[in-house]
Amino acid sequence: MNIAILSRNPKLYSTRRLKQAGEARGHKVEIIDHMKCVLFIEKKNPVVLYQGRRLDYFDAIIPRIGASVTFYGAAVVRQFEMMKVFTAVESQALIRSRDKLRSLQILSRAGLGLPKTIFMDYSRDTEGIIEAVGGAPVVIKLLEGTQGLGVVLAENKKAAKSVIEAFHGLHARIIVQEFIKEAKGADIRAFVVNGEVVGAMRRQAKEGEFRSNLHRGGTAKVVKLSRPEKQAAITAAKKMGLDVAGVDMLPSARGPLILEVNSSPGLEGIEGATKVDIAGKIFQYLEKNAGKKKIQKDKINA
């Protein structure tokens, strides 16, 4: 099959691994910078143009869209969808996953465990907000933050009030979340492909840090998920409409608590910790689903 990886940086580990895995399985794999794509739209003739050529020969795409370019990246994915190209991540699921508040509302409706969370417009009742999520310490997050950026742990009520008021002063949209003490600075990343957990790791924050992101110096090791954790990860990905997802959760006394469902999860940490060919698992999924479309298309054109 002809497969495009939508990525702005061909040197990133995840992009390189996907290209390597696809070529090893006999596919023609091309890296396309989605921000350099031009979308041509007319009646019943959607086309993606790239460096002066039409990208009308792909059987499938693997979107690796950064959070800062979600709007245009999703538009490119949508254009390929209109061209009947199979995508590992659908455009609407991508947009849904990037809206933290909407994601939490969807997961809550699905009955999944979540840290107690408050979202508000400007409010003077900061003490009431802090108490509603269990009191200090509390976690305060920018809705647009990624990879641990824009996340603050307020150790006491005074610090929490100061941070909330400062964010309000900047007209920043924030959520305030319960701090799960028993997690001890660790979380779990479950990698889900086509409704199955294909790998899981436990990420531990470095000493003096509460954010376990590997980009912030956290460490990772393979972990065997409990049945509730595995089911929570699979359900979370399904409810978000994602067939390829990284589901982050906290272990707690009341069961797994979902933090986030990531539509462009990195491969380096999970492959390094689990020694599983996650990139290969993604291509197996593409072969099973995009392959069916290709066979149908070939029969029509025969």
Name 222's bridge partners: 201
Measured in whole angstroms, how far is the alpha carbon of residue 63 from the centre of its chain? 11
pTM over 0.85: yes
Whether residue 229 is contained in a domain is answered as yes
Q: Are residues 128 and 207 in the same domain?
A: no
What is the Cα–Cα distance from 137 to 154, expressed in whole angstroms?
5
Reading the block at residue 50, the tokens are 């790239």
What is the Cα–Cα distance from 191 to 201, expressed in whole angstroms?
9
Q: Which of 145, 164, 179 is the last residue of a domain?
A: 179
Whether residue 12 is contained in a domain is answered as yes
Residue with tokens 């990037």: 98
Is pLDDT at 61 greater than 90 in this prediction? Answer: yes
CA neighbours closer than 13 Å in the CB half-sphere of residue 169:
6
Whether residue 148 is contained in a domain is answered as yes
What is the Cα–Cα distance from 280 to 18, expressed in whole angstroms?
8
Q: Which of 179, 214, 232 is the last residue of a domain?
A: 179
CATH number, position 91: 3.40.50.20
Q: Are residues 198 and 173 in the same domain?
A: no
Whether residue 123 is contained in a domain is answered as yes
Q: Report the candidate in 269, 256, 252, 165 with the shortest Cα–Cα distance to residue 215.
A: 269
Q: Which of 128, 149, 179 is the last residue of a domain?
A: 179
The tens digit of pLDDT for each residue in 208-240 reads 555 655 555 578 899 999 999 999 999 999 999
Structural domains counted in the chain: 3
Whether residue 75 is contained in a domain is answered as yes
**Which residues span the domain enclosing 269?**
182-280
Helix (H, G, I), strand (E, B) or coil at 133: coil
The tens digit of pLDDT for each residue in 91-136 reads 999 999 999 899 999 999 999 999 999 998 777 788 888 999 999 9
Whether residue 286 is contained in a domain is answered as no
